[in-house]
Amino acid sequence: MRHASDIALIVVDVQPDFMPGGALACHEGGAVVAPIAALLAERRYRTVVATQDWHPPGHASFASSHPGRAPFETIALHGHPQVLWPDHCLQGSAGARLDARIDWSPADLILRKGTDPQVDSYSGFRENHGPGGARPSTGLAGWLRERGIAEVHVCGLARDVCVLWTAQDAAAAGFRARVLWPLTRPVTPDGDASTRAALAAAGIAVDGG
């Protein structure tokens, strides 16, 4: 059964580098692949967006770009906290491709993010804080509004980072937002309680889990 035509599905960063054995493996990341593939195959959503982490070499969010720093340390970048990550989702690399086990043909838009070498991008809606302190828009909110979308359902990776930020920014942009919790996995499950609290504080519904 189809959802209402004003509801869009956003599938966040389902890429090999976030899978077991990948450069930045999420906890049980591979568990989302089959259910997301099944959801897309059902064609329940008339509008589907897939986001794709797509970093240039030497990205500012990589620990390797900061001598003496290690992955998962936090530094100040453009005046805001920035977790330093292992090099991941390098543009054109196998680890940056959308997972080949999913048929992506239902996707109406593939939004590549994290392309600015100096600015990270967790959310599908806005970049992280840049040199001027602002969080530039990716244009996704306007794209969805042009299609009459009023509500977004978010799934994918990682639950505690890019899924969370995407849902929060969707709500801040005026969309009703819902996270499909069983179709997400975190970098680490230790933060699940704080993720739930952050979603609740933003008025974001959580399905399952």
Q: Is 162 labeled as catalytic in the residue annotation?
A: yes
More confident residue, 126 or 2: 126
For 134-151, the pLDDT digits (tens) are: 899 999 999 999 999 999
The catalytically annotated residue of 13, 87, 160, 169 is 13
Out of 89, 120, 162, 169, pick the active-site residue.
162
- For the chain, the distance separating the N- and C-terminal CA atoms, rounded to the nearest angstrom, is 22
Q: Say yes or no to pLDDT of 2 above 80.
A: no
CATH (residue range 7-56+91-207): 3.40.50.850
Q: Is the pLDDT of residue 90 over 80?
A: yes
- What is residue 209's predicted lDDT score, i.e. its pLDDT? 62
**Residue 97: band (very low, low, confident or very high) from pLDDT cuts 50, 70, 90:** very high
For a pLDDT cut of 70, what percent of the chain falls above it? 99
Q: What mean pLDDT comes out for the span 179-192?
A: 95
- State the pLDDT at residue 51: 98
For the chain, which residues make up each domain, given as ranges? 7-56+91-207
- What is the C-alpha to C-alpha distance for residues 106 and 36, in angstroms, rounded to an integer? 12
What average pLDDT does the chain have?
96
- Of residues 158, 67, 189, 188, the one with CA closest to residue 179: 158
Query: Any catalytic annotation for residue 113?
Result: yes
Check: CB of residue 123 under 8 Å from CB of residue 162: yes
**What pLDDT sits at residue 1?**
60
* pLDDT mean over 4-23: 97
- How would you class 205 by CB atoms within 10 Å of its CB: exposed for 0-12, middle for 13-18, buried for 19 or more? middle
Is the pTM above the cut of 0.75? Answer: yes
For position 18, what pLDDT does the model report? Answer: 98
Clarify whether 87 is annotated catalytic: no
Q: Please write the tens of the pLDDT for every residue from 32-76.
A: 999 999 999 999 999 999 999 999 999 999 999 999 999 999 999
How large a percentage of the chain has pLDDT more than 90?
94
Identify the active-site residue in 87, 113, 155, 160.
113
pLDDT at 133: 82
